[in-house]
Amino acid sequence: MLFITRAEVEKLLNPQELLTALEEGFKALSAGQLNVPPRNQVAAPKGLLVSMPAYMPNKLMSVKLVSVFHDNHKQNIPDHQAVITLFDSETGSPIAFMDGEYITALRTAAGAILSIKMLARKNSKTVAIIGAGVLGQTHLKMIETLSGIKQVWIASRDISKAQAVSSCASNAATADSVQQAVSNADIVCLCTSSLEPVIKTEWLKEGVHITSVGYRPPGGELPRDLIEKSHVFVESKVAFSPPPVGSAELQGLDSNFGTELGEVLLNQKPGRTNEQEITIYKSMGHAMEDLVGANLVYQKALGQNLGKNIVL
């Protein structure tokens, strides 16, 4: 097996290449080419361990194990920790083992940025990022792949964290409040683990595009009234299933209420239909995203002779 460390993953995972790989993956997902069983979880007193296996033609099979322990920050440990194993799709042999924490964070942000490229108004210039944790950081990193963005506002309950994130980009600044950040934003990226909505519908501009990657059943960061009045897009229709498979915020809505990104990419369904509608991309995180990210890292590791071969 090829053992690939966190530092090597960060070096190998290129944002633009990841966007291209995700676009291919979303198309294959909506075309029914993947085998991705519903994710399952084991609950411990303070958190969850989630299993996410996936098969995609012409790729190595993957299994991600991710733990979600929301109180870890009290011990200065990441809330989300993950590892990914790749298997040969012809023989089932284990091929690679790698850090999955960075892949999870960057692929989550990349999915949001892909939705922005597809669904946001073409003249969008201002972005608000709500949340200054790992996902807020990777969203800011991925925003660099967008053209035409003049200003990024960062808002967080901890203003020192917002200041730290905003210092990472010359076009980023710290907002005094969430309302200030979103009120003039063309694009709003929600990156929190909040049990309750972090924005209000009346704060938003007409025609805004919103991305939401937070997962905190039984609640969530999106207001229900905003969801019901918006054009909603998802990775997969399984987002409308009960947690842990689906989103708590989408419960009670028919799966036809949402459109898969892959359906838009395949020209099967429309994306944004006018300049006035609010579009929402609600991400649950999908095993396909881990699979294409890990396969990309593995192939680049072989090409650059990185990683360490180990014998089990």
The full DSSP string for 209-241 is: EEEE---BTTB-SS-HHHHHTSEEEES-GGGGS
Is the bond into 218 cis (omega within 30 degrees of 0)?
A: yes
> pLDDT by residue (tens digit) across 79-132?
899 999 999 999 999 999 999 999 999 999 999 999 999 999 999 999 999 999
> pLDDT by residue (tens digit) across 229-252?
999 999 999 999 998 889 999 999
Angle ∠(259,261,263) on CA atoms, nearest 5? 70
| Domain 2-103+288-309 class in CATH | alpha beta
> pLDDT by residue (tens digit) across 36-82?
998 899 999 999 999 999 999 999 999 999 999 989 988 999 889 99
| Residue 277: Cβ-neighbour burial (10 angstroms; 0-12, 13-18, 19+) | middle
| Domain 112-285 class in CATH | alpha beta
Per-residue pLDDT for 16 more than 90? yes
CA 227 to chain centre: 18
State the span(s) of the chain assigned CATH 3.30.1780.10.
Answer: 2-103+288-309
State the span(s) of the chain assigned CATH 3.40.50.720.
Answer: 112-285
- Candidates 104, 111, 69, 64; CA nearest to 84 is 64
Q: Which helix (H) or strand (E) holds 195?
A: none
- Candidates 216, 174, 171; CA nearest to 194 is 216
**3-state class of 204 per DSSP?**
coil
